[in-house]
Amino acid sequence: MSLKIECIEKEGLASPVGLKQGDAIRSINGHAINDVIDLQFYSADEELDFEIQRGSEIFHIPIIREYDDDLGLSTEPMKMGHCGNHCIFCFIDQNPKNMRRPLYFKDEDYRLSFLHGNYVTLTAVHDSELERIADQQLSPLYISIHAIDPDVRRRMLGIKGDDRLLEKLQFLSDHHIEMHGQIVLCPGINDGSILSQTVMALSGFYPAMQSLAVVPIGLTRHRDKLVRLREVTSDDAKIVLQNTQEWQAKFLQKMQTRFVFAADEFYILSATDFPKSEGYEDFPQIENGVGLTRSFLDDLNEATSTFPKSVKSIRRIWVTGELVASILKAQALPKLNTIHGLNLELWAVKNIFYGDSVTVTGLLTGQDILQSLKIEQDEYELLIPPSCLNEDDLFLDDLTLSDLSRQLERPVRLLTDFKDFWMNPNA
């Protein structure tokens, strides 16, 4: 194994010592280099011995490196591990046909968990990889657990054998790897006593297991030939929140942390007020949709003192999914519309692409936004939340903001800051 160099920068250590584009880094100080994590970890020493392969030639290049010296090279992209599980709730299996190929790829790679916060089940992690995680302190890791009962976990993940989950968690805990867990709640399968058992068992791994999120299953209309599952109801959500509050009270007394947190959807489904910000502690699961609404509302409240008193008369439409529409309309819109001249409307878009049961903003497509806004004939500027787009500025259906603007014949902009509500981008 080796790691191929794709680019050498003029500034940096790589160029003057003779490293070239296309070279393959085989080892550093005798340690095999298989990916960018190995490269970063083993190149931290001051004295480095790079073993390089250039064509059929293998040779060594010594490098003396100060702490803050940049190697000045970039390497080939890391090949992601593919998921071999067959989770009964997998959202990717519920994608419709004819989407772009990356949307059908299921990653299962502990390295992506460390680098980007992707959730990983650990089913495919072998002992040698656990040792690497410990040796290189690849922390934190984000782990999809769902249930610790072996039969329930096997059923949910679609695996046949025992994947030694608790043994792996114990190893990571013993080696001081910070972990954050996730439970996707599937009513009738891993709720009730199974959920309680899972939460209590995982709390035993604290402080290595720093937090645990309970999130509701997401079901689309594209479930032909998939396991029959039902949505989380308002009653389900109330039970989850009641149990969560009881667990949090126990954990606060015992461990000085609430430890387990419920996703925003449970509060919205049950019409329950969100906790104050301290109820989410340091928001360890915000990327998992836990505390995201509370964080936004707090940021908005803090920003109101910076709002202008008035602006040039403008009309803007703020796109959102149906899930948070009522909350934003009641708690956010009135504050923004105190700005004289700003005519801001909240526009909740129904998700036709995935189905009515999918109500989060981040899963809205360009075509659903387009169809929803076509009825609006008056002048306006459209504001799109960034969660609707990927890193290439594409909606899930491959439309771009420019595509949407052209077809609507209206200005369309990304909403990245509160100022975007009233600022003129051309000013």
Residue 336, H or E segment = helix 333-336
Considering the domain architecture, whether residues 62 and 128 belong to the same structural domain is answered as: no
CA-CA-CA-CA torsion sign (268, 271, 275, 276): positive
Last residue of a domain, one of 48, 75, 102: 75
Residue 189 lies in a domain: yes
Which helix (DSSP H) or strand (DSSP E) does residue 195 occupy?
Answer: helix 192-203
CA nearest neighbour of 285 among 304, 266, 302, 300: 266
pTM equals 0.93
pLDDT of residue 1: 82
CA atoms within 13 A on the CB side of 233: 6
Residues 160 and 242 in one domain: yes
Q: Are 1 and 128 in contact (CB under 8 A)?
A: no
Q: Is 369 exposed, middle or buried (0-12, 13-18, 19+ CB in 10 A)?
A: buried
- Are residues 195 and 52 part of one domain? no
| H/E stretch holding 6 | strand 3-8
Give dist(CA 38, CA 329) in Å, integer: 48
Number of structural domains found in the chain: 3
Are residue 352 and residue 277 in the same domain, yes or no?
Answer: no
Q: Looking at the structure, tell me whether residues 320 and 411 fall in a common domain.
A: yes
Are 357 and 231 in contact by the 8 Å Cβ rule? The answer is yes
Kindly state the tokens that stand for 116.
């980007």
Same domain, 134 and 247: yes
Residues 274 and 333 in one domain: no
CATH number at residue 58: 2.30.42.60
Residue 146 inside a domain? The answer is yes
With residue 367 as reference, give the H or E element that holds it. helix 366-373
Regarding whether 370 and 264 lie in a shared domain, the answer is: no
Residue 121 within a domain: yes
Q: What is the β-pairing status of strands 24-28 and 31-32?
A: antiparallel
Let me know whether 311 and 340 are in one domain. Answer: yes
Closest CA to 171 of 197, 139, 211: 139
Classify residue 60: in a domain, yes or no: yes
Q: How far apart are CA 266 and CA 238, in angstroms?
A: 7
- Which backbone phi and psi does 141 adopt, to 5 degrees? -120, 150
Q: Give the CATH number for residue 245.
A: 3.80.30.10
207 cis-preceded (ω within 30 degrees of 0)? yes
Residue 42's region, left for phi above 0, alpha for psi from -120 to 50, else beta, is alpha
In a domain, 362, yes or no: yes
Contact 414, 381 (CB under 8 A): no
Distance CA(60)–CA(29), nearest Å, equals 10
Say yes or no: 324 and 281 in one domain: no
Strand 179-185 and strand 141-144: the pairing is parallel
How far apart (Å, rounded) are the C-alpha atoms in residues 236 and 202? 22
Tokens of 103: 């949307």
Whole-number pLDDT of residue 299: 96
Q: Is residue 209 part of a domain?
A: yes
Q: How many Å is the Cα radius of gyration of the chain?
A: 25
- Domain annotation covers residue 367: yes
Q: Are 26 and 58 in contact (CB under 8 A)?
A: yes
Q: Give the phi and the psi of residue 198 in degrees, each rounded to 5.
A: -65, -45
Q: Which residues of the chain have pLDDT under 50?
A: none
Residue 292 belongs to what H/E stretch?
helix 292-303
Residue 333 falls within a domain, yes or no? yes
CA distances from 45 to 36, 37, 38, 39, 73 (A): 16, 14, 13, 11, 17
| Backbone dihedral angles phi then psi of residue 47, each to the nearest 5 degrees | -105, 120
Position 427 scores a pLDDT of 55
Task: For residue 161, count CB atoms less than 10 angstroms from its CB and return exposed for 0-12, middle for 13-18, buried for 19 or more.
Answer: exposed
Beta bridge partners of 413: 383
Same-domain status, 203 and 238: yes
Same domain, 102 and 127: yes
**3-class secondary-structure state, position 52:** strand
Where is the domain boundary, 45, 75, 105? 75
Structural domain containing residue 27: 3-75
Q: How far, in whole angstroms, is CA 403 from its chain's centroid?
A: 26
Q: From residue 406, how far is each of 363, 366, 371, 401, 409 by CA, in Å?
A: 21, 12, 13, 9, 5
Which of 257, 289, 321 delimits the end of a domain?
Answer: 289
How far does Cα 47 stand from its chain's mean position? 37
CATH number of the domain that residue 357 is part of: 3.40.50
Which residue type occupies 411? P
What number of other Cβ atoms are within 10 A of residue 235's Cβ?
A: 11
Sign of CA dihedral 105, 110, 113, 116: negative
